[in-house]
């Protein structure tokens, strides 16, 4: 057998490290193209090749603005605009915009590239796996629930073909309790096994996970950071439920609780830090509301480039009552985007006789981009 040449011996000794470096820099397919025969050839290839730099994604601002106007559902008017070109000739045109009397779209910062809203609509099934009474997630076996979710998302997609629908598993990760518990906080944190189940179910439908938090006598500042592992995942979002944020020692369920803008801003800033640290797409923060006092100082809530905020109307009742609540407490105080909750059971309690249809919800001003079913 012919003796092995020296550079072949060198490659045998250090080949693994060099190959790993090449794959890291250029990718496997590029290494195949180099067709190296030894260490010298490999190092020459590294010196002469130029790595491919991927372009940094950017937000399509024109498309973003156009979609905001579409979901605003405001009457449009033509505004006369006159401009002078480089030749000094004045030209006049009429540009369509929303009526000055309409307060939508909300004035908020532009998100980072990769933002889901307003380009998509999210349809979420809500509940807790331990409870059959808190929503559809615990009421039905997983396969039945996922089939229902698929049918529901298809209905919303048919109602608005211009906006892709993303399914979501909206899991109550911290639940308010009627008993104080060991620490007297009147809330229970769900174990990792249950959160993992939510992540797994969402993966089956290529959807999102929304972790809902009911703090009881605890605080947003305490509970949200405990979910860091999951909120650091690219497809896991956060929701806060002021109804069960109690003050003055009141037990959850005895009175309607509240959160302040400072609590919501803390959650948004915490999520923004995770987005930056983990190079994630913008997060979504959902805030439930069905009365004025549930969210105090709402005008001070600050959407961030890293966090999109949805104010979700989650009251139940007849169609007219729900529309009235949405108009009074969600649409009248623009934050960024809106949501609408539908109840399979409570929306049919007398005197109500039916649930709102997707078409009816989509006709609201503004059109909700987050739809939640309990």
CA distance 179 to 184: 8
Of the pLDDT bands very low, low, confident and very high (cuts 50, 70, 90), residue 54 is low
- pLDDT of res. 43: 53
- 345: pLDDT strictly greater than 80: yes
Taking the domains of the chain in order of start, what are their residue ranges? 6-48, 121-373
Per-residue pLDDT of 203-229, as tens digits, reads 999 999 999 999 999 999 999 999 999
Instruction: Dump pLDDT digits (tens) for 115-149.
Output: 999 999 999 999 999 999 999 999 999 999 999 99
Give me the CATH code for the 121-373 domain, please: 3.20.20
């Amino acid at each position: 057998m012919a003796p092995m040449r020296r550079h072949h011996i060198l490659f045998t000794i250090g080949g693994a490290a060099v190959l790993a470096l090449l794959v890291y820099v250029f990718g496997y397919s590029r290494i195949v193209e180099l067709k190296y025969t030894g260490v010298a050839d490999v190092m020459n290839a590294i010196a002469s090749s130029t790595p491919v730099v991927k372009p940094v994604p950017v937000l399509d601002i024109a498309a973003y603005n156009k979609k905001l106007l579409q979901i605003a559902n405001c009457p449009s008017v033509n505004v006369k605009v006159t401009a002078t070109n480089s030749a000094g000739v004045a030209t006049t045109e009429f540009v369509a915009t929303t009526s000055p009397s309409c307060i939508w779209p909300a004035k908020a910062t532009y998100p980072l590239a990769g933002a889901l809203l307003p380009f998509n609509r999210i349809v979420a099934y809500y509940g807790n796996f331990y409870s059959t009474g808190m929503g559809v997630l615990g009421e039905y076996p997983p396969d039945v629930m996922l089939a229902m979710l698929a049918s529901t998302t298809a209905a919303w997609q048919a109602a608005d073909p211009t906006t892709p629908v993303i399914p979501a598993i909206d899991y109550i990760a911290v639940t308010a309790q009627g008993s104080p518990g060991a620490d007297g906080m009147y809330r229970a944190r769900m174990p990792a096994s249950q959160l993992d189940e939510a992540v797994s179910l969402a993966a089956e439908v290529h959807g999102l996970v929304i972790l809902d938090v009911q703090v009881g006598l605890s605080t947003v500042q305490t509970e949200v950071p405990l979910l860091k592992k999951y909120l650091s995942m690219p497809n896991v979002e956060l929701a806060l439920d002021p109804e069960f944020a109690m003050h003055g020692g009141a037990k959850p369920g005895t009175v309607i609780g509240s959160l302040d803008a400072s609590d919501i801003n803390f959650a948004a800033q915490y999520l923004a830090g995770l987005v930056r640290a983990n190079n994630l797409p913008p997060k979504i923060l959902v805030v439930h509301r069905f009365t004025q006092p549930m969210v105090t100082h709402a005008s001070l809530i600050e959407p961030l480039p890293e966090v999109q905020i949805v104010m979700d109307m989650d009251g139940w009742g007849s169609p007219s009552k729900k529309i009235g609540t949405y108009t009074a407490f969600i649409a009248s105080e623009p934050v960024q985007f809106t949501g609408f909750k539908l109840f399979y059971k409570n929306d049919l309690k007398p005197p109500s006789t039916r649930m709102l249809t997707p078409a009816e919800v989509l006709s609201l001003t503004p059109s909700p981009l987050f739809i939640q079913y309990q």
